[in-house]
A and B are shown apart, each in its own frame.
Chain A
């Protein structure tokens, strides 16, 4: 496995039938409800396995908990939320570790399995592939609006629903559709993860911005400056790989918005059947993301 290809998790081939996919991810709270936070953090960690076409198998909890400032009940609810998603994925919770910490963080270390021949990397996108995105963007902006106390209930509900949704079904569909390449959209935003895929695959990826789905009200909050710092950092770093041909600076920031438990970005062959929004296509090129 070439780690230079910015892949989502480590892969070890055990034999011709089985490869192990190994990952760890943890996050700070994005919502107030501890059980929902547990669900989102677990879905976020499991996503790395799905992004590679694998099946989650074994999970370990990792929890940093401020025992002085939060009740024990809160910890139980977080773990309960996490377990709900682990069960839904078909994996097993086999242990975990917690430490006392100033700031709450929760996540999972996950071992997944896959046929080594069928692992989907981010480095195999081919010119003429069609590019799909399985969840709407704007999750970082909505989380900022929630922190600011300025988020509408309907936008918060839509974002929570997107974040707690496992990428399990999207993964199954992309395997059926014979995906060439995939990655999950997390901290680097759509442009950042698309740039990694373009770089690893030695192609250009064209994003047709008017086709990209967004969480309700996310554009409104972007215009109001409720944009997380990470989005600006993504722009500062990834703009070297991006050709932005749109004039809307707020829309551009949405495409750099860091996602928590975001969707899969999938490159599929021309004749595919994939029930998610198509947001662009692959061309020959040298690792650029072109935003139209």
Chain B
């Protein structure tokens, strides 16, 4: 919706904006004004109403884009250096050579602690759940990652298969539905 309040004096642009915003539950109202006083007044009004405002200066007027109703997703993680990526770990070993692979996995997990962009979630699937359960040598590392705000999730079916359901030592259990949702909606998947 566009409200053309050019040529109007205070308080008319504010009243026109009020009318337009009251007519919608959610959406974007664009208001055109031709003087700085009306620009500031309409911005004040919209922000007081809880809307967000973007201002563009055009040739001989201002265009205020007022967004009503849409809320931004509030990040649930405490740390701001978490990316939107998800790491999927399918084995307790990084690569085929088992002994080397376990050393590499430990180093990999420890290094995530220092990474500038950390994943928001780590999914442990298939033999990956051996890392999140009793007897794993990386429980402490994973607990530290969890404290940094990274979600540690283990596949429930996999825990059942290895008889490890009551041996989970870090993080939570997840199911295939949530896993699929997560993998298809996140910013990127890193498979190990």
Contact = CB atoms under 8 A, between A and B. Distances in A.
B partners with A:
yes
Interface of A: 144-145, 147-150, 222-229, 231-233, 250
A224 B10 contact: no
B40 A225 contact: yes
A224 B48 contact: yes
Interface string B14-25: 110000000000
Contacts of B36: 232
Interface in B16-52: 35-38, 40-45, 48
B9 interface: yes
B137 to A, nearest CB: 53
Contacts, number: 48
A250 B10 CA distance: 16
A148 B14 contact: yes
B37 A226 contact: no
Given A227-B37, A229-B37, A144 B10 contact: yes
B44 A250 contact: yes
Nearest to B43: A225
Given A229-B37, A232-B36, A232-B37, A223 B44 contact: yes
Interface residues of B, number: 16
A229 B44 contact: no
A150 B44 CA distance: 15
The secondary-structure label for the interface of chain A is helix
B135 interface: no
Contacts of A224: 14, 44-45, 48
Contact of A226 (B9, B11, B35, B43): B11
Contacts of B42: 225
A267 to B, nearest CB: 31
Contact of B11 (A145, A232, A250): A145
Contacts of B38: 229
B189 to A, nearest CB: 44
Interface in B38-68: 38, 40-45, 48
**Shortest Cβ-Cβ A-B pairs, 6 listed:** A225-B41, A225-B44, A225-B45, A148-B11, A232-B37, A229-B37
A227 B10 contact: yes
Nearest to B11: A148
Contacts of B44: 222-225, 227, 250
Contacts of B43: 225
Given A144-B10, A148-B11, A229-B35, 17 more contacts: A148-B14, A148-B15, A222-B44, A223-B44, A224-B14, A224-B44, A224-B45, A224-B48, A225-B14, A225-B44, A225-B45, A226-B11, A227-B44, A229-B9, A232-B36, A232-B37, A233-B37
B68 to A, nearest CB: 15
Nearest to A231: B37
B40 A144 contact: no
B161 to A, nearest CB: 60
